[in-house]
Amino acid sequence: MATKSFTSASNGFTWIIEYTETVPANYIETNKTLVNITVKIKNGAIRTNSGGWAYNIYVDESSKYSATNQTLNTTTVSANGGVLTVCSKTGIEVEHSADGSKTITLGTYIRKSSYTSWDPGTLNKKTAISFKLTNIPRASTPTVSADPTIGSAITITSNRPSGTSFAHKAQIYQNGTLKETIPNSGTFGDTQS
């Protein structure tokens, strides 16, 4: 889990954004990542009230989760640095670029409708932090120069949407048996028998 934090403008409260990312096997094909986000508040001096919370979670400035007039259990937020989870959202789908890369921004809007000196006030940062997601390897699409004919040369070409760091391997089978493998580029030998 990666954690980023920043201090709010009111009363010394510290806001913390935590995030995790996962790429389930079935998401590689769709070029997406699942992001989980948790927003917490750490109290450095005083205790906050429990009622009247409103919040919103943003990914790339787009709202992904919101709620109003929420009551939180604030008994854990003491005057000794207690930490309270304000809101969290799991399973946010984030689509990557065509080459499998993606950098996103995370943000949050937190408001206390019953603001007093005991509350952290309003935090409104749609782009509080940014981070780079893990690259997703992209599938290639091979093409053949002509209809394969025994005894004739053919060329198999494959694109590399994820850049030159990804290699390709070609294999030739005869009657279900692997006869030859070449990495990246090369020429098959005589595989007839």
Residue 66: domain span: 2-132
Compute the CA torsion angle 109, 83, 115, 50 (nearest 10 deg).
110
Same domain, 79 and 17: yes
Q: What are phi and psi of 127, to 5 degrees?
A: -125, 60
Number of domains in the chain: 2
Confidence at 193, pLDDT banded by 50, 70, 90: very low
Is-above-0.85 flag for pTM?
no
Same domain, 13 and 89: yes
CA distances from 186 to 14, 65, 124 (A): 59, 52, 57
Write down the residue that tokens 């917490």 correspond to: 40
Calculate the average pLDDT of the chain: 76
CATH number at residue 42: 2.60.40
- Residue 174 β-bridge partners: 177
Q: Is 115 domain-assigned?
A: yes
Same domain, 90 and 12: yes
Task: State pLDDT tens for residues 12-44.
Answer: 677 888 888 888 888 888 889 999 988 888 776
Q: Can you spell out the DSSP letters for 41-89?
A: EE-SS----SS-EEEEEEETTEEEEEEEEE----TT--TTT-EEEEEEE
Q: Is 193 domain-assigned?
A: no
d(CA 37, CA 51): 22
Sorted by sequence, the CB contacts under 8 Å of residue 115 that are 6+ apart come out as: 121, 122
d(CA 157, CA 74): 61
% of the chain with per-residue pLDDT over 90: 7
- Residue 140 β-bridge partners: none
